[in-house]
Amino acid sequence: AKEPVRVLVTGAAGQIGYALVPMIARGVMLGHDQPVILHMLDIPPAAEALNGVKMELVDAAFPLLKGVVATTDVVEACTGVNVAVMVGGFPRKEGMERKDVMSKNVSIYKSQASALEKHAAANCKVVVVANPANTNALILKEFAPSIPEKNITCLTRLDHNRALGQISERLNVQVSDVKNVIIWGNHSSTQYPDVNHATIKTPAGEKPARELVADDAWFNGEFITTVQQRGAAIIKARKLSSALSAASSACDHIRDWVLGTPEGTWVSMGVYSDGSYNVPAGLIYSFPVTCQNGEWKIVQGILGIATLIMELTLQQLTAY
């Protein structure tokens, strides 16, 4: 039997946490033959709720779940963890300046970074979900210099999955037949969802998504804004922000990172830039990546956005 993997979820008493921990305990994140021990961290005002989540995990009698640590102590939470999903943080609230949120998150991520650095298992893989996700990941990377920078990532897989979902709905195809969209940049409304390399599996082989859509203009306008503003649309509808889709996407992110991406498929991950595509080195930025043997690699040689826009203009010109 496999040794259990220890998975930390911070902010585990929150809404994403509540959707995420049962997925992990069911093997959605690390595989259906991989036992897990859950480490759940939250802050003292949420301690009672956190304990309630622990009670429900016990009640659900998950066969793969070999233990639960529910704590408000950051060191206890981080000790021995192999995977860390950072969901807790201080989100920007109405009327708050960006710099106010930043300083709160700097202190949270600074202490969590040093606890992970000192107490997590060697080669612990980290994904930051809490917004601003790119920035929080960067803070974590800066304050945990002994954790290899390739091990610190942020979640843009939700945006990636939203793009797949929109294409599937629009083209009336199965979402599992759509692949290779790209989210460039941030997890924020300034991200660039790119469909120019996306393909659809058809009985006649893989076809570019752009060839199959009746109205190509949709891809250049409404598609992009729908993906960029999907988070806001969910809040408007649910009066709460995305939780089940965020949790499921966090599982996808870790699963593909640890177990690998299928041949010919890439996914979007926020990772530190090595200067690829002229993105300043050291930033945490969303790129198309493939994963193998527990390591991600930025897909090279895809037309950059500037080239791409030029190309499109040329295509439009030659079409006349």
Residue with the shortest CB distance to ligand NAX: 14
Q: Which helix (H) or strand (E) holds 237?
A: helix 230-238
Of the candidates 299, 303, 255, 11, the one whose C-alpha atom is nearest the C-alpha of residue 133 is: 11
Q: Is 91 in the site for ligand NAX (CB under 6 A)?
A: yes
3-class DSSP state of 13: coil
CA angle (146 as vertex; 144, 148 as ends), nearest 5: 95
Cα distances (Å, whole numbers) of residue 63 to 108, 156, 231: 34, 30, 34
Q: Which segments within the chain are labelled E, that is strand? A: 5-10, 36-41, 65-71, 83-86, 125-128, 152-154, 178-179, 182-184, 192-194, 199-202, 205-208, 267-272, 284-292, 295-298
Q: Which of 7, 113, 158, 209 is in the footprint of ligand NAX by CB under 6 A?
A: 158
Q: Is 13 in the site for ligand NAX (CB under 6 A)?
A: yes
Question: Given the complex with ligand NAX, which of 53 and 200 has the nearer CB atom?
Answer: 53
> Is 12 marked as a binding-site residue?
yes
Q: Is 130 in the site for ligand NAX (CB under 6 A)?
A: yes
Q: Is 46 in the site for ligand NAX (CB under 6 A)?
A: yes
Question: Given the complex with ligand NAX, which of 27 and 88 has the nearer CB atom?
Answer: 88
Q: Is 87 in the site for ligand NAX (CB under 6 A)?
A: yes
Please say whether the beta carbons of 44 and 61 come within 8 A.
no
Q: Is 88 in the site for ligand NAX (CB under 6 A)?
A: yes
Choices 6-14, 53-61, 113-121, 211-219; region in contact with ligand NAX by CB under 6 A: 6-14
Catalytic residue (choose from 32, 39, 119, 187) = 187
Q: Is 42 in the site for ligand NAX (CB under 6 A)?
A: yes
Please say whether the beta carbons of 16 and 129 come within 8 A.
yes
Choices 27-35, 192-200, 242-250, 271-279; region in contact with ligand NAX by CB under 6 A: 242-250
Choices 36-44, 116-124, 272-280, 287-295; region in contact with ligand NAX by CB under 6 A: 36-44
Q: Checking DSSP bridges between strand 199-202 and strand 178-179, what pairing results, if any?
A: antiparallel
Q: How far apart are CA 270 and CA 185, in angstroms?
A: 8
Q: Is 187 noted as a catalytic residue in this protein?
A: yes
Q: Is 185 in the site for ligand NAX (CB under 6 A)?
A: no
Binding positions for ligand NAX, 103-122, rule CB under 6 A: 108
Of the candidates 63, 59, 5, 14, the one whose C-alpha atom is nearest the C-alpha of residue 37 is: 5
Q: Is 246 in the site for ligand NAX (CB under 6 A)?
A: yes
Q: Which residues sit in the known binding site for substrate?
A: 92, 98, 131, 162
**Site residues for ligand NAX per CB under 6 A:** 10-11, 13-17, 41-43, 46, 87-91, 108, 129-131, 133, 155, 158, 187, 231, 241-243, 246
